[in-house]
Amino acid sequence: MLVAGACSEPAAKQKAAEAAQKNAQEPAAAAPQVPLSTKGMIWIAGGEATLGSQEESRDAPLRPVKLTGFWIDQTEVTNAQFGEFVKATGHVTTAERKPTPEEVPGVPEELLVAGSLVFTPPPTATDLREFWSWWSYVEGANWRQPEGPGSSIIGREYHPVVHVSWDDAVSYAKWANKRLPTEAEWEFAARAGLDRNRYVWGQEQLVNGRLPANIWQGEFPQRNSAQDGYETTAPVRAFPKNGFGLFGMSGNVWEWCSDWYHPAGYGDVTKVAIDPQGPKVSYDPDEPGAKKRVMRGGSFLCSDVYCLGYLPGTRMKSTPDTSLCHTGFRCVADAPPPK
Ligand SMILES: [Ca+2]
Ligand SMILES: [Ca+2]
């Protein structure tokens, strides 16, 4: 059922993804909305920038963009914030719902259980291409119990919510009167003017002897030394903010963007793209037929030996109904700039 994607993100439930593509940004649930509040958001004035980096990502060529200003959440959406949304709307996440036979054709009835993908380090050294050896579909794993039954988010209220699908993220954004960022908006905000730099904080990996992001240290995937203090998620403000005052734009959890994924999705990169919205169709050569959305920023599982996703010039993708222990989101909003 789970199939390969670069950098280890298995995709699931392809049929549902196709249905979701038809629905684009319109998940079925009509959630009651709250008035937009820009509290906890930062105004990004927009302008011109060069995004992408072919050195780190074959599918992210350098491209000039010009963006209109927008508001963006200063942090990844937290468990506390997501809990408010669930309390107000009764939203049931993808991971909390039992998949239907139509969503996962060919899977025996007894295996159709609600759950999500959890990182489970293999006991011995493994071929880094064998990503399935460290991903497990865990029954009962969801945003409330990230490691499965018996785990909880008590004490992790200010950690990013995880095990949320793209569909869940869009539902939250609609409720908050916000939306998911386009990939261009996300990277523009992450770089904070440091075009063509390797890291969101500059060109050198370490700042004052420390790597200012929650990623992986040690031997991947067996042993995480957690030298940075966090084996999995960290509180959303635990690491330094970038030049625009945003936290977590490198590492901690992957963040869903609104764009469909396509390796050539940037189009003609000799021309300035004005507020690009991404391609109209999705295509992933690693998994043809699976329609995927872009994810950005990397996670606590990134490291230089395996996944460079924490660098701002890299991309990841997954189907809109996939949820994982290292994937969350933040929102943007269209509202007048601060006075
Ligand atoms: Ca870490
Ligand atoms: Ca992040």
Q: What is the pLDDT of residue 20?
A: 40
Task: State how far the Cα of 230 lies from the Cα of 293, in Å rounded to an integer.
Answer: 27
Q: Given this model, what pLDDT does residue 111 score?
A: 87
Tell how far the Cα of 110 is from the centroid of ligand 2, in angstroms. Answer: 35
Residue 83 CA, ligand 2 centroid: distance in Å: 19
Q: How far is CA 288 from CA 249, 256, 282, in A?
A: 29, 20, 9
Residue 8: Cβ within 10 Å count: 24
- Ligand 2 centroid, distance to 198 Cα (angstroms): 16
The predicted pLDDT at position 32 comes to: 66
**299, 251 contact by CB (below 8 A):** yes
Instruction: Report how far ligand 1's centroid is from the alpha carbon of 234 (Å).
Output: 8
Cis status, amide bond into 336, omega within 30 of 0: no
pLDDT of residue 304: 87
Ligand 1 center to residue 121 CA distance, Å? 14
Q: Using CA atoms, how far apart are residues 135 and 331, in angstroms rounded to an integer? A: 27
Ligand nearest to the CA of 225: 1
Burial of 306 (0-12, 13-18, 19+ CB in 10 A): middle
CA of 72 to the centre of ligand 1 (A): 24
What is residue 58's predicted lDDT score, i.e. its pLDDT? Answer: 87
Q: Is the pTM of this model over 0.85?
A: yes
Ligand 1 centroid to Cα of residue 215, in Å, is 4
Which two tokens mark 34?
A: 């709250």
Q: In whole angstroms, how far apart are CA 257 and each of 50, 181, 198, 270?
A: 18, 5, 21, 23
**Separation CA 287–CA 130 (nearest Å):** 15
pLDDT at 4 (0 to 100): 31
Domain 1-17+40-339 has CATH 1.10.760.10: no
Contact 317, 327 (CB under 8 A): no
CA 74 to centroid of ligand 2, rounded, Å: 11
Ligand number with the minimum distance to the CA of 234: 1
Q: What is the pLDDT of residue 15?
A: 37
Q: Which ligand neighbours the alpha carbon of 310 most closely?
A: 2
- For residues 337 and 43, the answer to whether their CB atoms sit within 8 Å is yes
Residue 111 CA to ligand 2 center (angstroms) comes to: 32
Helix and strand tally (H, E) in the chain?
A: 4, 14
- Predicted confidence pLDDT, tens digits, the chain (339 residues): 233 333 555 555 443 334 344 444 445 455 668 999 999 999 999 999 999 997 878 899 999 999 999 999 999 999 999 999 999 999 999 999 999 998 888 888 888 999 999 999 988 878 888 888 899 999 999 999 999 999 999 999 999 999 999 999 999 999 999 999 999 999 999 999 999 999 999 999 999 999 999 999 999 998 999 999 999 999 999 999 999 999 999 999 999 999 999 999 999 999 999 999 999 999 999 999 899 999 999 999 999 888 899 999 999 999 999 999 999 999 999 999 998
pLDDT at site 191 = 98
Could you tell me the distance, in angstroms and rounded to a whole number, from the CA of residue 64 to the centre of ligand 2? Answer: 23
